[in-house]
A and B are shown apart, each in its own frame.
Chain A
Amino acid sequence: MTFKIMLIGEAAREHAIAEAIARSSYSPKLYSLMTYRNPGIARIAEKTGGGVFIGSFLDPGFVAGKALELGVDMVVIGPEEPQFHGVADAVENNQIPCIGARREVAEIERSKAFMRRLMWKYSIPGRLRFQVFKNVEDAVEYLKEYAESIAIKPARQVGGKGVKVLADLQTYLSSDRCEVKVKHARDIYGKIMRDYVDIDDKILVEERVEGPEYTLQCFTDGYTVLPTPLVQDHKAAFEMGIGQETGGMGTIASSKPTLPFITEEEYLESVRIVEESVKALHRETGVRYRGVISGQMMLTTLWGPTIIEFYSRLGDPEALNIMATMETDIVELFEAIVSGKLSKIKLRFKPLATVVKCIAPEGYPQRRDIAKGHLVSVDESSINALGCRVYYGSIHQSSNGLVTMGSRAVEVIAFAETIPEASRICEEAVRYVKATDGWRLFHRSDIGDPEVLARQVEQAETIRNIYKYRATRKLLGLHLDWIPGRGKITIKY
């Protein structure tokens, strides 16, 4: 009997998961549930003899019903929002195995306040000082009182939006920055969080840290945590890392599990943080975590590996680097997760460097309204001829052709021995993605640039030097200070 999998989601991440499922030696049938017709996923689903269903996947009853109706053997949830709504719970309650965090454990992504409290309660390394506010005036008062380098975030995951990171190292510019902090707190409360009534905590203020960032994506069955190679996303919208924050404009991964600026030791320490968090989640909620947990991490002087955020899913575009190079059969991997036998699995990846570049219509990320509705042509065969692959994201198939939907439309991955070489090949490939209505598409040519890499290696060395100094003096997790006239201050993390 053929194995049947239902995949939820329609972004490039799910396209990459779909492709890995289609590669499986078990030749599963893929059923896709998505809110719009992603041409890449649709093509794969149809080719495997499965099918495509267009509909909202946030309703747990609807998803579970659909899975029962189709008689699928497993449900795989790509994005975070269905997890927050309890889709995994509903599916599992109907005795269908599910890859995707149950509501209680997906809380680690949904609520940034929950995540920080958990890390503090269980003394997990890589945690940051934070304050949570339910009320905007309290937040404003705090921001005015403590003008420091901080990050201000919505306390809930809201699709990665609304995060402001403000270094405040020049006293002569502090008052101007404070105005921005206060205004942003008001925006989070009044605009961004207004639509989310499912959470009391509204505004999170966190100490701001600095360093190279990387994503550690792990599979877990609640007992074992299996890490995948590190991937680095590039969040700024435009060339040279200038511009607004986006969901990610492209990624790099090396032919090894680490990145050029992260040591083996730091990789292992990062994995340990995720392992401890999974354990803590179980102790806190009593629920086994079955699915993906990703640490969006940063190398900092405070700890070395530090958690910026957790994802209860694969990253997008980080998923592409992992899914495209994974040699382990994904069905075997998923089976091991749902049966609690993940310790028996060994993950294998092709030893290739990968670079992903996202192509977005002008207007993204600030003006999605004008980025929407543009016709795009993708010359897949020319891209494939370069050894690259295309994944469709925020784009749908209409009768007129491919139409942008306002976010990152197409993602292209390239493979090579080294990151810069993969970047070069990827640059050639992205030329085959064009807008046919005269609108401008953009991508970042600097992702995977050797100079940018070298600068990060240098920055990582500087940071490593400091956190190692702190480690040898047993100062990790401690903040020691002295204020003239007030005396010594010791803050224990």
Chain B
Amino acid sequence: MVGFTSIYAFDDSWRVSRFTYYALLALQHRGQESAGIAVYNGRLSHHLSQGFVDNVFNDDVLHMLQGWLSIGYVSSGFNSTYMSYVKNPTELIICTCRLADNVALKLSNNLSRYDPFEAVEKLVREVNQPITFTALTGGGEAIVFRDFLGLNPLSIGAYGFDYGAVASETSALECIGADPKGDVKPGEAYLFTPYSIRRETLFKTCRRLCSFEYVYLARPDSVIDGIPIYDARYRIGVELAREWPIEADYVIGVPDTALPFAIAYAQTLGLQFHIGFISTGRKYRTAIKPSIFERIVGVQLKLNPIKSVFRGRRIVIVDDSVIRGTTTRNIVSILKNRVGAREVHVLVGSPKVVYECPYGVDVPPRDELIAANLSDEEVSYVTGADSFHWLSINSLQKALGIDFRELCLGCFTGSYPEVDL
């Protein structure tokens, strides 16, 4: 997974590296393995490395990155192909998702032969993949493109008359003081030049928004394609209550993503919602940690239980998604063994994740997906839950309020959008 940002100041008295840094901090949940920033101040320079945003950058590094234009990324991948630099024929630096090889070189070639919009269109046709990217050229232009299916969210905003900004999520724009103005539409490109901002729709394909963004990936304070994430998650909780009303004493959400689901579930059924767990240290996204060891450490640090209220009670625990089941097993075990809950019912705010994602969401191989390998009964047995239920695909669609034909549900159904242009 990747988070993108780009800042384009309209006058060269701005130094945007710190703004870019804070936008990336706000996007940290989209990728915690590497980060990079490139700036332009008459020439291009960049810095990237493995690690969290605040490990990759410090004041000295930000001070070196002087410029009034920038692009930046965070990513859940190890290697550095997410930001690449090409000198010839057209000097540029690009941040993109990992789907396609040599995107930088191909774009560089195209830019030397065509106008920027044509260059992007030809690049995407060559690659034939739903890539999203931000790029800076050696001529001081920024090019932003959102994939033609709209799988990767991308918003655009502005800070007064001083800079335009693009980011994967609106919350990152807000974090740097920019007002979100709208979404970059699927298949749409923006070109910032020293004297204009232009947008063009390069592909008019049917949008297929990533349902996983709404369920898990995005921050609840973001708005993606006009849908506030918190509202979508709240409605998922309402749908869960409608599909799986359970007689229980208390409802808990797995922090942090599942809290809106749990609140909505409890409110809909008139049950009490309580905070169940307190985390230690940084907010790790446990599902996307690459090694088993890191995932388990992540889960354990994230989940120290509050014991007092739950002893002897019947508890519904709501999670946003269950991939391998690592977190869920830990939680059920903690609630039963350490807290002494009488019953533990698990509800999942997404349908069963049973297929991999070819578009960059870090879903593990199929043999690691619990729902792809075990029956519902077996899942209950393995996790130790009294009952275990998933949101149906229909309810998810209803909660999101997006037409089936405009959603990508590939990880739940195995049926992916057509990409042939």
Contacts and interface: CB of A to CB of B under 8 A. Distances in A.
A244 B14 contact: no
Nearest to B25: A172
A173 B177 contact: yes
Contacts of A173: 18-19, 22, 176-177
Interface in A145-200: 163-167, 169-170, 172-173, 176, 179-180, 183-184, 187
Given A169-B177, A170-B176, A176-B19, A239 B13 contact: no
Contacts of A237: 196-197
B159 A167 contact: yes
Interface string B154-166: 0011111110100
Interface string A131-143: 0000000000000
Contact of B13 (A179, A238, A243): A179
Interface string A356-379: 000000110011001000000000
Nearest to A367: B195
Given A164-B162, A173-B19, A236-B161, A242 B177 contact: no
A442 interface: yes
A458 to B, nearest CB: 13
Nearest to A362: B196
Contact of B164 (A166, A242, A367): A242
Contacts, number: 80
A363 B181 CA distance: 23
A367 B161 contact: no
**Could you say which interface size class chain A belongs to?**
20 to 34
B314 interface: no
B396 to A, nearest CB: 26
A183 B156 CA distance: 27
B161 A164 contact: yes
Interface string B406-417: 000000000000
Contacts of B198: 238, 442
Contacts of A244: 10-11, 161
Contacts of A366: 10, 194-195
Interface in B1-48: 10-11, 13-15, 18-19, 22
A180 B181 contact: no
A165 B161 contact: yes
Contacts of B313: none
A242 B18 contact: no
Given A176-B18, A239-B199, A366-B195, A184 B13 contact: yes
A244 B159 CA distance: 10
Contacts of B11: 244
The residue among B159, B162, B199 with the most chain A CB atoms within 10 A of its own CB is: B162
A183 B162 CA distance: 14
Interface of A: 163-167, 169-170, 172-173, 176, 179-180, 183-184, 187, 235-245, 362-363, 366-367, 370, 440, 442, 451
21 contacts: A163-B161, A166-B160, A173-B22, A173-B176, A176-B15, A176-B19, A180-B162, A183-B13, A184-B13, A236-B161, A237-B197, A238-B198, A239-B199, A240-B182, A242-B156, A242-B157, A243-B158, A243-B161, A363-B195, A363-B196, A451-B182
